[in-house]
Amino acid sequence: MARDESCNNWSDWSSVWSFTLSTESPSPTPNPPLSPSPSPAPSTTQQSTSFNILNVPSQINSDQQFNITVNLSLPSNPNTTFYLKGAFKKPDGSNYFGETFVSGSFVKNSSSFTNQHQITTDSSGNWSGILEVRSDDSDSGFTGTADYIFKVGRYTGSGSGPTWSNESTIKIISAENQPEGTTTASSPATSPISSPSTKTEGTSFIRAKNSGKLTYRIASVAAATTAASPLKKETKVDIKSQKQTNPALWAGLILIIAGVSSIGYIYYKNGKIRI
């Protein structure tokens, strides 16, 4: 009986552990729709700016003025007012000096930006022109003959700045003061009047002894030379001729005096007889 019971039990379990196999394939998962790729952003071209100076001399005298060319390109600043000034300084210093020519006179570097050279850019933000400058040997920044840095400063209409241009090195030669009472001329030191054959015209520069200033006198050397010698010759001839004719003149004077005396005596005598 136990065996039969166990058999019955296994049959019962077999019905429980029966499996059903499904032959259906899973349905495919639909792919999401493709989104359009974003278009590349347009590239922005940066507008370049420039502030350059050209034609800068390598050497000048401390009292010498000169011209430079300034090129300015500011595309973002069309029709805009700026102020420019020239400036010198020692390579290792920060004391700027110099003067810029504005409206008939030179303006010091230390003067207000509104007194400097005014410019206005065109519709594209460009400006190019000439700037006349010179050093200032009376400024404490000038220490004598040496190399100096030169550049141009730019101010906005509201006074913002300065923005500096490129730099150049200039050697400044200190002007030597000539001794007082000396005469400087463009011709050789030989006096042109001493030679009668001199025919060129010259300009003499005479320095006042007390003031130290130069007095300019322009004269024709040829005219002065030509007029000097003939006058002496004519004077000698006149004097010689006068010496030769002196006896005749005295004789004439004596005769005239004698005649006048005789006539006077006759009139006097006739008048006395009548009385």
For position 108, which CATH number holds?
A: 2.60.40.3880
Q: How many CB atoms are closer than 10 A to CB 163?
A: 14
Band of pLDDT at residue 63, cut at 50, 70 and 90: very high
Distance CA 166, CA 106 (A): 23
pLDDT top residue among 178 and 100: 100
pLDDT at 231: 45
**DSSP SS3 for 171:** strand
Kindly state the helix (H) or strand (E) to which residue 5 belongs, with its residue range: helix 2-16
Q: What is the mean pLDDT of residues 214-222?
A: 44
Of the listed ranges 44-48, 88-92, 178-182, the one predicted with least confidence = 178-182
* Mean pLDDT calculated for residue range 158-170: 96
Instruction: Say whether 49 sits in a helix, a strand or coil.
Output: coil
Do 138 and 217 have their domain in common? no
Same domain, 136 and 65: yes
Identify which has the larger pLDDT, 235 or 25: 25
Same domain, 161 and 139: yes
Chosen domain end from 135, 154, 173: 173
Weakest-pLDDT range from 145-149, 202-206, 268-272? 202-206
Q: Give backbone dihedrals phi and psi of 63, rounded to 5 degrees, phi first.
A: -110, 20
Domain for residue 132, yes or no? yes
* Cis, peptide link before residue 38, omega less than 30° from 0: no
Contact 85, 117 (CB under 8 A): yes
For residue 97, what are its two tokens?
């000096």
| Domains: count for the chain | 2
Range of the domain at 121: 50-173
Contact 122, 78 (CB under 8 A): yes
154, 173, 192 — which closes off a domain? Answer: 173
Question: Is position 119 within any domain?
Answer: yes
CA dihedral 133, 139, 141, 144 (to 10 degrees): 90
Residues 167 and 187 in one domain: no
Nearest to 98 by CA among 55, 128, 77, 68: 68
Averaged pLDDT, 74-81: 97
Residues 146 and 108 occupy one common structural domain: yes
The answer to whether residue 211 sits within a structural domain is: yes
Least confident of 6-10, 57-61, 112-116: 6-10
Cα-to-chain-centroid distance, residue 208: 29
